[in-house]
Every structure is written in C-alpha cells, then in structure tokens.
Amino acid sequence: MATTSQTETSLTGTKNQETVILVEAIHKYYELGETRVHALRGATVEIARGEFVTIMGASGSGKSTFMNILGCLDKPSAGRYLLEGVEVSSLSKKELAAIRNRKIGFVFQGFNLLSRTTALENVELPTLYARVSKAEGEKRSREALALVGLADRVEHFPSQLSGGQQQRVAIARALVNRPSILLADEPTGNLDSRTSVEIMDIFQKLNDEGLTIVLVTHEPDIAQFAKRSIQFRDGKIRRDDWIQNRPVASEVIKNLPKLED
Amino acid sequence: MDLLAIIRIAMRALARNKMRSVLTMLGIIIGVGAVIAMLGVGQGAQQTMQEQIQAMGSNMLFVGAGTVTRSGMHMGWGSTKSLIYDDMLAIMRECPAAHAAAPGSNTSGHVVFGNDNWVTRLNGTEPQYFDIRSWPFFEGSAFTQNDVEMSANVAVIGETVRKNLFGATDPIGQTIRINNLPFRVTGVLMPKGTSAAMGDDQDDIILVPLTTLQKKITGQPWLRWIMVQALSRQGSYAAQEQISSLLRERHRIRAGDDADFFVRNLADMADVADEAGRVMTLLLASIASVSLIVGGIGIMNIMLVSVTERTREIGLRMAIGATEGNVQQQFLIEAVVLSLMGGITGIIFGLGASYVIAQTLGWPVLVSPLVIVIAVLFSMAVGVFFGFYPARKAAQLDPIEALRYE
C-alpha cells in the first residue's frame, strides 16, 4: 500500500524519459444545485512517453473524470495539466479541439463508429478536421487499418463487422492522426474474453512501437496486460504500481479455446 | 475542413433518411413552387395590362366634356355643350406639351348590312385619330381630311362589327346603313381586344368623319371629347396641366369652381394599373411565401430531430477534433442543402405549374430570371435561418454528455 514511495521510485526510474502527461494536484468539482460534487481531490500523475498505464477504480472513484481531463474534453477546477509541456487549462475551446484531433486518440467502449459509413471513411474522420489533404488522409487511413489487421475490410460497413473488428476500426481511427497518447475507455467492455485479449494484443504491439497508452478498465485480467496500474478511489490515487510478470497477449491467445460458431 | 467535404457529409446524412428528407423538402418545394407560379401569374397579368394601356397609347390624354348639374340633377358625361372644336385648335396652338389632337363626338349607331344588323358605338372624328391611338388598319384605310370637309358618308369599322355584319364577305367598298343612312366602308381596324383597364370591347366601334356625325346624325355641333397626344409619357403630365388651365380660362371657370370638362391622363391609368398589378403580385406572393415559411419550420423541426438522434455522432466528432464551428457548419450546411434542393425542385415545379396555368387559363405567365435567382437565394436563406438554431444547439452540446447519450 506504500503508494507514494512507489510513485517516487517510478518517477526516478523514468527520469531520462520524456514526460508526456503531467498532472499536478488536480481537483474537479461539479455544482449540482446546492451540493458540490467533488469528483477529483488532488490527483498527481506523471506519465512518460512509451508507458502503458491502466486506470482502475469503482464507479464514482473519479477515474472517468480523470480520463475526460486527460482527453481534453473537460478542464480541471484546480491544479495543472501539462500535455507535452503545454498547459492545457489555459487553452481555448478551439485549441482544445485541435489537441484532441492531433495529440490524442480516443477509443470508446461502444466503438462509436458512424453507421452506413465504410471502415475507411470512419478512420478518415479525424483527418477531415486536421489540415491533411484528402489523398494523404486516405493513405494514412489505409495504413492505420492495415496496422490493426483490417486491410481487407476497408470498404465494409460497421454492421458487416464483428465487435472486435469494429473496435479495431475505432483503434485505427484513433491512430490516424499519429497522436502522442491513446486514451481507451473500457475498450473491451463490450467484447468477449478472447476478442478482448486480441484487442490487448494490438495495444501491446502499438505500445512496443512507442505509443503511450492510457486505458480505463474494470477487469483486473485486462489491466495486467499494461505496464503500470493506477487505482482511483474517492477522487484520489490509491495505488500506483508497476505490473510484474505481465503476460504477452499474443501468447495468451494461443492458449485460449477457439470459439465454436 | 473544406466545403466540398462538408457538403458530401451533408448529402450522405440526408440520404440516410431519404423519405424524411424528401418530405421535409416537400414543404420548400411547395413553397417555392407556389411563389414562382404566383409571381409568374401576377407579373403576366401586370404585363398584359401594361400592353393594353400601351396599345391605347400611354402618352394620350382624354379631354371629356363634363357633367352638368341642372336643378340638382346630374346629366351625365358629355351633357355640357361647352367643349367645342375651337378648344381643340386652342390646345394645339397654346399647349407646347400637346403633340397632336383629334376631336370627337359619339352616339350609338344601329348598323345594317344585308340581313344582319348590329348596335354599336358610333364615333365621329378626324383621320389623325388613328395615328394618335396608334391603331393600324387590318385592311383598307382611314377616311381622309377631305371626307371630313365634305361630310362624306364613309365609315371605318372595328373587328367586332365586321365579324357580326360581314362574316366571310370582304367589307371594303361595301355599303352599310347607319341609323338609316348609307355609308361606304373604307377600312377595317386591327383588333385590339378587350381592354383590361376599362373592361370593354374596343373593337365594337364604327368611326365616321366628325362633321358627318354632327351634321347628319346627331345634329349637335359641340364635341364630347378631344384626344390629345403628348410628346412623351412624361410630357403627358405637363400637357394635362396646360390643357386644364387653358380650358378653364376659355370656359371662364373661376378658381375653386368645378370645371365643365375633365382631362384624363392615360399615363395616370398606366400607373394605376401598374400599381394594381404590383399589389396583386405582392399579395399572391406573400400568400405563397407563408407556405415557404411553413416549409422552413419543417426543416427546423427535422434538423432538431436529427441533432437529437445524432447526439453521439456529434460527441464523437468533437472528441476526435471537430470544433464547435465545424459541428455548427455541418448542420447548417445540411439544412441549406435540404432547402436548396427543395428550392431548385420547387422552381421546376413552379415553372411547370406556370405553364399549366398559362395553358388552361389562357393567361400569359411571366417568370423572370430574377425571380428564379431570388427563389434560389431565398430558399438558401430559409435553410440558414431555420437551420441556425438546430446547428447552434448541436455545436453547444457537451462532448462528454453527448458521448454518453443513449
């Protein structure tokens, strides 16, 4: 339970690495009529480039609020949040949109693909809001789809894809603008266990290539695929541990029974 | 994000709900179609009226002998004996704005040819009358000044009279009996049709030399009217002033007393008809634009539904980098595409309706290119106006809430 000292050592351990996310004593409260809901009560986290962090915690622990702030969808009420050295709290809505577009890739539990829109066009979506030419956007989108193993599903509509494939399209969409961090909010929440491990396999491979990933999950066996685990409780960080003996997802899949159709 | 991409997205979004989009568009289609057709009908009518007034000569003035009140009784138009031939000569001499003038008197004539007879207006005048009224001949020619001096029994007939008396027979040189006197027909006038301004059949007329009418038929030496042609349509107002003051002086009418004549300006009438046409067109168009507004409300309604339905999509777009402006633009353009497509279809329908109206009612329908341009711009404006609120609503969604929306 010696969380603080753990954090200290982890920070010293990554000292020579570049800090991507620096959150200092952030607070978030919502005014609900008379009462004030305190969602975050002074959380401090530093995440270096190339880390793979899971965020865990019961509902109401503040982890969703934390993710929203990391994703620049929400601003902290107090404290600082620096993304690649940029103080996010001071940015305008337009600048925040640009950061979400270029520096952050989102993966959601419900995939959030546009129906009646092909996989390719779904992946292209972020490039439409970036200053990227149509041709360049399409090229990048095809590359991103190839990266998640869907090169042959480019023209498929979401309704023609399985849940795992849909989530992989969503991951490709998150990657298309080459973000600094990938934020995944319960990406395996709607998937069966085998497909979940497949998704974690993709995350591990992306992380091996240097992508910083922050992942929220309820499931401890999914969390163990990451390198570092942060636990939230009552708006504060309770634990911040390095994960020992983490399994390799591609190895785990081999031992899983194939699903009978 | 370039405009073309947004338009493509908008088209796709509209194609997703084809039936709904078409029904929404229908409001605009009917609105624009109705406006186009109504403006077409209105302007057509206006132009017809103008043409008919032009046909009468818009730079013409009509000086009529006034009414006289005898022991409290109005005797009707031309009951005074004060308008005389010398008045016309004086007008020509002293009114610089008057270019030409023709004197006239009229009565009703009973005309007989062979077994046919007809009752019509019988006018006595001088040959310049036909020039002043710019009334060409269908065949034959006018009587001459010599005929006037000789009080010759010659007549010019209108198309209605020709049709009723002669049928297929060539009337030129034939002898007809007017009020039991024989007259030789010298010419048939070009049909002018029914006057929209007056509502009477202008071709139901016989014209004879003034002196013939005065001496042989009515026995009255005074005039009932003088037709004056001003130099121009603008000049007709000056001519009206000049004639009025000249005749008041000649007839010794004290300031403040009623004149025993009246001067009617056809330019005035053209203006009145113009104004009436404009009012009618405006009235028709404003009734039609009510349906355009209803169509716009339909667009607003469907856009609001669309924003609610696509809350998650909006949240997603914001999360992956769409600014409020991007989202607002997207929905605004969707509304404009909807209304513009409706508008263009409406124009086609409106033109079709105008054609059908023109064919069935025999009414000229005039759709000017300007009206079409205005219709396109107006339907765009409807899209912007009624799309703005839903688009604003979409842009102001909180992305976190929107993503969580079920």
Residue A21: both structure tokens together: 């996310």
**Mean pLDDT, residues A242-254 taken together:** 89
Cβ separation A98–B5 shorter than 8 A: no
**Mean pLDDT, residues B188-213 taken together:** 82
Residues A202, A233: contact at Cβ < 8 Å? no
pLDDT of A231 reads: 93
Which positions in chain A touch B4 (Cβ < 8 Å)? none
pLDDT of A3 reads: 42
pLDDT of B258 reads: 81
Cβ separation B323–A93 shorter than 8 A: yes
pLDDT of B199 reads: 62
pLDDT of A62 reads: 87
Backbone angles phi, psi at A109, to 5 degrees: -60, -40
**pLDDT tens, A196-231?**
999 999 999 999 999 999 999 988 999 999 999 999
* Closest residue of chain A to B399, computed from CA coordinates: A73
Would the pLDDT of B378 be above 50?
yes
Q: How confident is the model at residue A2 (pLDDT cuts 50, 70, 90)?
A: very low
Would the pLDDT of A4 be above 50?
no
- A71, A112, A116 member nearest B316 (Cβ): A112
- Candidates A100, A113, A120: best to mutate against B (most CBs of B within 10 A) is A100
**Which residues does B contribute to its contact with A (CB < 8 Å)?**
1, 5, 12, 16, 312-313, 315-326, 399-400, 403
Residues B63, B263: contact at Cβ < 8 Å? yes
Is A101 an 8 Å CB contact of chain B?
Answer: yes
Cβ separation A117–B12 shorter than 8 A: yes
Would the pLDDT of B370 be above 90?
no
* Closest residue of chain B to A176, computed from CA coordinates: B320
**Mean pLDDT, residues B148-159 taken together:** 93
**pLDDT tens, B62-101?**
898 877 665 556 656 656 788 889 999 999 999 888 889 9
Give me the total of CB pairs closer than 8 Å, taking one residue from chain A and one from chain B: 60
Is A138 an 8 Å CB contact of chain B?
Answer: no
| DSSP, residue by residue, B277-290 | HHHHHHHHHHHHHH
Which positions in chain A touch B3 (Cβ < 8 Å)? none
Of the candidate ranges A28-32, B163-167, B272-276, B397-401, the one whose mean pLDDT is the lowest: B272-276
- B313, B326, B399 member nearest A73 (Cβ): B399
Cβ separation B400–A68 shorter than 8 A: yes
Backbone angles phi, psi at B203, to 5 degrees: -90, -5
Return the H-helix or E-strand segment holding B380: helix B369-395
**Mean pLDDT, residues B14-28 taken together:** 91
**pLDDT tens, B98-128?**
889 999 998 988 999 988 899 999 999 999 9
Q: Is the ipTM of this complex over 0.90?
A: no
Cβ separation B400–A116 shorter than 8 A: no
**Mean pLDDT, residues B18-30 taken together:** 92
Calculate what percentage of chain B has a pLDDT beyond 70.
94
Is A82 an 8 Å CB contact of chain B?
Answer: no
**pLDDT tens, A132-147?**
888 999 999 999 999 9
Cβ separation A129–B403 shorter than 8 A: no
Residue A16: both structure tokens together: 């020579």
Cβ separation A94–B400 shorter than 8 A: no
pLDDT of A143 reads: 94
Which 3 state secondary structure label does DSSP give B125?
strand
Is A128 an 8 Å CB contact of chain B?
Answer: yes
pLDDT of A9 reads: 40
- Candidates A66, A92, A107, A114: best to mutate against B (most CBs of B within 10 A) is A114
Is A74 an 8 Å CB contact of chain B?
Answer: yes
Give Cβ neighbours of residue A200 (< 8 Å, ≥ 6 apart): A188, A222, A225, A249
Angle in degrees, CA B398, B399, B401, rounded to 5: 65
Residues B259, B248: contact at Cβ < 8 Å? yes
What is the least distance, in Å, from the CA of A43 to any CA of chain B? 20
pLDDT of B79 reads: 62
**Mean pLDDT, residues B350-377 taken together:** 85
What is the least distance, in Å, from the CA of B6 to any CA of chain A? 9
Average pLDDT, chain B: 87
Burial class (CB in 10 A: 0-12, 13-18, 19+), A5: exposed
Which 3 state secondary structure label does DSSP give B113?
strand
pLDDT of B76 reads: 60
> Between residues A106 and A9, which one has the greater pLDDT?
A106
pLDDT of A15 reads: 45
> Between residues B368 and A261, which one has the greater pLDDT?
B368
Cβ separation B316–A126 shorter than 8 A: no
**Cα atoms in the Cβ-side hemisphere of radius 13 Å centred on B65:** 24
**Mean pLDDT, residues A64-71 taken together:** 91
Is A30 an 8 Å CB contact of chain B?
Answer: no
- Distance in angstroms (rounded) separating the CA atoms of residues B156 and B117: 16
Would the pLDDT of A260 be above 90?
no
Burial class (CB in 10 A: 0-12, 13-18, 19+), B328: buried
Question: Between β-strands B181-189 and B175-178, what pairing exists: parallel, antiparallel or unpaired?
Answer: antiparallel
Would the pLDDT of A10 be above 60?
no
Of the candidate ranges A203-212, B36-45, B380-389, the one whose mean pLDDT is the lowest: B36-45
- Distance in angstroms (rounded) separating the CA atoms of residues B172 and B121: 20
Give Cβ neighbours of residue A227 (< 8 Å, ≥ 6 apart): A51, A52, A53, A207, A242, A243, A246
- A116, A129, A174 member nearest B326 (Cβ): A129
- Distance in angstroms (rounded) separating the CA atoms of residues B17 and B306: 10
Which positions in chain A touch B313 (Cβ < 8 Å)? 114
Cβ separation B318–A100 shorter than 8 A: yes
Would the pLDDT of A14 be above 50?
no
pLDDT of A5 reads: 41
Which positions in chain A touch B316 (Cβ < 8 Å)? 108, 112, 114
Q: Where are the beta strands (DSSP E) in B255-404?
A: 261-265
- A116, A117, A126 member nearest B320 (Cβ): A126
> Between residues B232 and B321, which one has the greater pLDDT?
B321
Q: Where are the beta strands (DSSP E) in A121-197?
A: 181-185
Place of tokens 């339909």: B298
Is A125 an 8 Å CB contact of chain B?
Answer: yes
Cβ separation B403–A128 shorter than 8 A: no
Of the candidate ranges A122-126, B34-38, B323-327, the one whose mean pLDDT is the lowest: B34-38
Cβ separation A68–B324 shorter than 8 A: no
Which positions in chain A touch B1 (Cβ < 8 Å)? 128-129
Give Cβ neighbours of residue B78 (< 8 Å, ≥ 6 apart): B64, B65, B224, B225
Calculate what percentage of chain B has a pLDDT beyond 90.
46
Would the pLDDT of A258 be above 80?
no
pLDDT of B74 reads: 60
- The pTM score is 0.71
Q: How many CB atoms lie within 10 A of CB B255?
A: 5
